Structure 1
Amino acid sequence: MTNFTGKDIERKLKILIVGLGGIGSQLTDLVVPALSIGHVSVELYLMDDDNVELHNIGHQKYQHHEIGQSKVSSLYERYSIYQNVKIIPIEEKLTENTQLEMYDIIVVSVDRDNPRKIVHSSGKAWVDLRCQGDGWMMLDSDTDSNIVCSFPKNEQPVSCQLVGAIDEGNIQFGFAAVAAIGAQWVLQKIRMSHGVTTKVPRFSMGYLTHGEMRFSLGGLKSE
């Protein structure tokens, strides 16, 4: 378990979201307004090197007039008006551990395994949010390492939408489900850092259609 100290209470927490696709952009849209009405000020860093494309519009928090813009600049322009949250855009990929040294809390919501491994080994409080179709999975820095290592690795990008779903207008909402879980995790971690006794969501996975799955190292079962 990651412990916060009195020094964390005295300064603004630095929170990083790596990946601003379906999950990351949705999580940003949930977290920023929620933080703006609270009593805690944070710095929220948004990291992604992609531009907004037409096929993003159906399931990511972008609009048609933003096509061609960088994702970080689009979200910065939208959310920098909120109080209590300083938005810092970082238009780059996560490729090495040194990029994570300054952060207290890290959200990784990417479609490749290498950035996930970098975050997992950072020693920070982290949450790893994944989805495909209407399925979703959430791991965090308190999840048993045997569970974290047991999942297949994605060396190539894997879309959160099933093949053909965007063209057919059959958008699947696993990304929204896991973004909500991630937003709950982030806000409760922030409250913990300020001495509040609370709980965060734990490792979970499931499908919107079939329900939550119970996991053991021996296999999966639906509830």
Structure 2
Amino acid sequence: MDALPYALEDVLIHDFYYFYWFYKPWSIRTLMTKKVLTENGVQIHIIGAGGIGSNLIALLLPSLRNGIVSEQLGGITFHLHDADIVEEKNLVHQRFSDVQIGVSKVDALAEEYDLIHPSVRVIGHSTNLRHSKPLVNADIIVVAVDRPEPRRIVHSLNEVEWYDLRCGLDSCLILTHKTHFDDIERLTPTHKPASCQPDDAIETGNIQFGSALAGTFGANIILRSLMNRIDGKTNVPGPMCFSMNMGIVPVFLKTNNSVPFDQKPPTKSSEKWTEEEDDVLLKQAERGLTLERIANHHRRSHGAIWHRFLKICGFKKPLNNEVGE
């Protein structure tokens, strides 16, 4: 038998490098760019890779695949922080598939989206956030977990752009680094860790999409922030509480510009509510009208509508001074 032109070992090594160079996303050519990208460009840390975080990543990363935004910023690196693994129950409302069951959530997302463009990195950190040290290089931080501890860690950071995304049923709440401190404190009480789905929602099939709503808001905010870093004029959305059923919900007491600028002042702010108005208000809520439509109909502020609704439903004790609410 004629001798092989190469030793078998040399052939295997040649084929190995050929395959990884041309076909694998984790190839040698991408390895050469990893160190540069993780040290330069925009560093974005996302705390939580569940209902909110996975939806945010699944929406935002494909929008960066052409590299137009990331190349102008010297690259973008996403750091995902979450110790959870993918479970079957996650598949009904989070962006994972059955082949990823048992895999770390952050690793599953990193495998799918890392180097979606050569200037975009996604790095998984399979740990929960316990202190601020992992965030030392952050330019943008997104909190997407329903635990007060990591929220407060991020809230305590100075001179960093952060967004705290929350959800409940069909609603979402966004706090930002521009939210008034008193509002942040009031809206961040101590509580046990919670799921983005209510009890028995998965078992009964009554899935709520507030997490997808929060993820959508988050993806939009981050992309607008990246564009603002490029052109200096793109508007970045601020604090917001939004319900798919009620529209904008006024939960901020001291935060500036947390409601639309064009909101008209109420014309009946000093008039008492009548029983007829209460009946109409309840019927409008049952029909699913937005808070804005209801407020415009009654010619009262969003806050007056919301507090009146809580009062007539028994969630708020009546006060003597009801005028204007």
TM norm structure 1: 0.89
Is this contact kept in 2: 1:100–1:122, CA < 8 A?
no
> Aligned equivalents of 2:69 and 2:163: distance in 1?
23
Q: Secondary structure at the match of 2:249?
A: strand
Q: Which residue of 2 aligns with 1:4?
A: none
Structure showing the higher strand proportion among its residues: 1
Work out the CA distance in 1 between the residues paired with 2:246 and 2:225.
29
Provide the C-alpha distance between the structure 1 equivalents of 2:192 and 2:101, rounded to a whole number of angstroms.
Answer: 24
C-alpha distance in 2 between matches for 1:13 and 1:167: 41
TM-score by length of 2: 0.62
Q: Which structure 2 residues correspond to residues 60-139 of structure 1 after superposition, within 5 A?
A: 60-83=94-117, 84-123=119-158, 124-139=160-175
Superposition deviation, residue 28 in structure 1:
0.5
Q: Aligned partners of 2:242 and 2:210: how far apart in 1?
A: 9
**Which residue does 2:57 correspond to in 1?**
28
**Distance in 1 (alpha carbons) for counterparts of 2:89 and 2:211:** 15
CA drift at 1:152? 4.6
Structure 1 residues 213 and 92, CA, compared in 2 at 3 Å: closer, same or farther?
same
* Structure ranking higher in helix proportion: 2
- Tell me how large the CA RMSD over aligned residues is: 1.9
The answer on whether the counterparts of 2:115 and 2:122 sit within 8 Å (CA) in structure 1 is no
Equivalent residues in 2 for 1:176-187, closer than 5 Å: 176-187=212-223
Q: Could you list the runs of 5+ residues in structure 2 that have no partner in the other structure? A: 1-39, 255-301, 307-325
Conserved 8 A contact 1:132-1:159:
no
Distance 2:127 2:203 in 1: 29
Q: 1:39 aligns with which of 48, 57, 69?
A: 69
| Residues in 2 aligned to 1:66 and 1:18: alpha-carbon distance in whole angstroms | 20
**Structure showing greater relative contact order (alpha-carbon pairs closer than 8 Å, 6 or more residues apart):** 1
Amino acid in structure 1 at the alignment position of 2:153: I
Which structure has the greater CA radius of gyration?
A: 2
User: Which residue among 231, 235, 243 is the counterpart of 1:199?
Assistant: 235
**Quick one: which amino acid aligns to residue 245 of structure 2?**
T
The total of aligned residue pairs comes to: 213
Unaligned runs of 5+ in 1: 1-10
Alignment-mate amino acid for residue 93 of structure 1: N
Give secondary structure in 2 for the equivalent of 1:60: coil
Residue deviations 1:154-209, cap 9 Å, x none? 43111111111111111111111111111111111112223431111111113212
Kept in 1: contact 2:228–2:236 (CA 8 A): no
